[in-house]
Amino acid sequence: MVRSVKIFFAALLLACVQSFAGYFIEQSYEEAPAKDSLASLSFGGELELVYYLSSIHPGLLLSGEYRFHKHHSADLFAVALFSGDYFEIGADWRFFFRGTREDDFLRLGISFISFERYDKSYFPPRLTFGYGRDITFFKNASFLCRIELDASYIMGRALVEHNDDDFFGREAHFTAALNIGFYLF
């Protein structure tokens, strides 16, 4: 089972890399076609791999995005880690460089993260900055793949390593994440 999952993710990664490998070599950025029409609303989900406290924590992100301009979009999202370490809800703004459906983007986000620390619940704000790419595999498809790398800073209380020892514990204010998802529009 684990081997099948690894093969699936390797195939998905190869398909994503193949779709824009050599992109900047083959055509200049200014000459890239801007012919597709953009749908205003898109919905989807992402597998999120979050790195903090020297380990990777997988989770699921669900999002609804509204593209209010060809270069700008806003979305609302919710994230839950499979380990149950935290739950997050927030909003993002994305800036798309060319304004097409298949495009690179920058992401700025603010969210609130809910977790327990020493049997108390906390809900501190979190700032996120990311870079990603939307990829369409077929010309007339009504879905796209999104790959994104982001870094976050949790303000206030930090995530803490679950440990029986109260004297020596590690905290994390910074997290890094890789998101791979599919969106319908």
Q: Looking at the predicted structure, is the pLDDT value of residue 24 above 50?
A: no
CATH of the domain at 148: 2.40.160.20
Q: Rounded mean pLDDT of 38-63?
A: 90
Supply the pLDDT for residue 25.
47
Q: Per the domain annotation, does 65 fall within a domain? A: yes
Q: Per the domain annotation, does 110 fall within a domain? A: yes
> Could you tell me the pTM of the whole model?
0.73
Q: Rounded mean pLDDT of 11-28?
A: 57
* Pairwise pLDDT comparison (185 vs 179), residue with the higher score: 179
The residue range of the domain holding 67 is 40-184
Distance CA 74, CA 65 (A): 6
Q: Per the domain annotation, does 79 fall within a domain? A: yes
Q: Per the domain annotation, does 29 fall within a domain? A: no
Q: Per the domain annotation, does 147 fall within a domain? A: yes
Overall number of domains in the chain = 1
* Pairwise pLDDT comparison (39 vs 132), residue with the higher score: 132
Query: Which three-class secondary structure string do you get for 65-107?
Result: EEEEECCEEEEEEEEEECCCCCEEEEEEEEEECCCCCCCEEEE
The token duo for 20 is: 């824009």
Distance CA 61, CA 80 (A): 7
Distance CA 72, CA 93 (A): 7
Q: Per the domain annotation, does 86 fall within a domain? A: yes
Q: Per the domain annotation, does 18 fall within a domain? A: no
Q: Looking at the predicted structure, is the pLDDT value of residue 103 above 60?
A: yes
